Amino acid sequence: MNNIVCIIPARLGSYRFPEKPFADICGKSMLEHVYKRSKLCTLLDEVYVATPNQEIVDHVEGFGGRAIMTSDDVRRASDRIAQAACKIDKADIVVNLQGDEPLVYPEMIEKAIQPLKEDPSLSAVSMARRADYEEAKDIHEIKVTFDVNNNAMLFSREPIPSKFMGDKVIPYWVQVCVFPFTYDSLMQYSELPSTPLEIIESIDFLRFLENGHKIKIVDSSEYKTYSVDVPDDLIKVRAAMEADTLREEY
């Protein structure tokens, strides 16, 4: 597999944080941080932003990036990625990197891609990191459980596994939004109808799980990252970015 691209979905109008892509983090927009940090990954041949908004296209081109216009009638971010992937030269692997992961490290992208390079029969890969119960209770954080071979079993906004047996220490895992697909599996994903759990939970990968596809989970706990789901998340993200040395490279 020689051609690997990263596509970052971004749009205005999120009900939780309408202007999220433009949120200022230490002098740059969140979207610019995500784009330029992903560009540092040497495995990627190109990075694009997929968006239905001309304001975002103008912003991306303003900081030297490349953007692809998509329609606004998509079901999930991964459907937007599939729509954008059809407008460029066919890639072997397409990385869906969510635009609200401003602390992403290029090594994370490399680590997420590796299972697909080793086993192209996989449908997709998702990263996840360890979390405590307090974080797991946050419905904005997607939790994942996986089997002994690190294949995903369930994604949920609820804290899984359950604590109904008492206060025993439970290892929670929070999804980190770096999602590589093979090109063929991405196209297959976009052709599948939405599934019941996908709709209930509003989680992309449930569509694949409900159709029996295999998703490998890769541990990203060694990297201290936070996603931005709501405005209050900017407080800890800005503090982390202030101490981050990678931003000196872009």
Query: What is the SS3 string spanning 93-140?
Result: EEEEECCCCCCCCHHHHHHHHHHHHHCCCCCEEEEEEEECHHHHCCCC
Sign, CA dihedral 82-203-112-248, equals positive
- Global pTM reads 0.94
Residue 177 near residue 222 (C-beta atoms within 8 A): no
Angle at 114 between CA 113 and CA 117, to 5 degrees: 95
Residue 154: helix, strand or coil by DSSP?
Answer: strand
152 within 8 A of 205, measured Cβ to Cβ: yes
Strands 143-146 and 46-51, how do they pair? unpaired
What pLDDT does residue 164 have?
81
pLDDT per residue as tens digits for the range 22-72: 999 999 999 999 999 999 999 999 999 999 999 999 999 999 999 999 998
Cα(54)–Cα(98) distance, rounded to whole angstroms? 19
Q: How far is CA 19 from CA 16, 99, 212, 230, 236, in A?
A: 9, 12, 36, 10, 18
Q: Which pLDDT value is given to residue 1?
A: 56
109-121 pLDDT, tens per residue?
999 999 999 987 8
Specify the range with the lowest mean pLDDT, choosing from 67-76, 138-147, 164-173, 190-199. Answer: 164-173
Tell me which of 3.30.160.20, 3.40.50.720, 3.30.465.10, 3.90.550.10 is the CATH number of domain 4-249. Answer: 3.90.550.10
Q: Are 246 and 40 in contact (CB under 8 A)?
A: yes
2 pLDDT higher than 90: no
Q: What are phi and psi of 131, to 5 degrees?
A: -150, 155
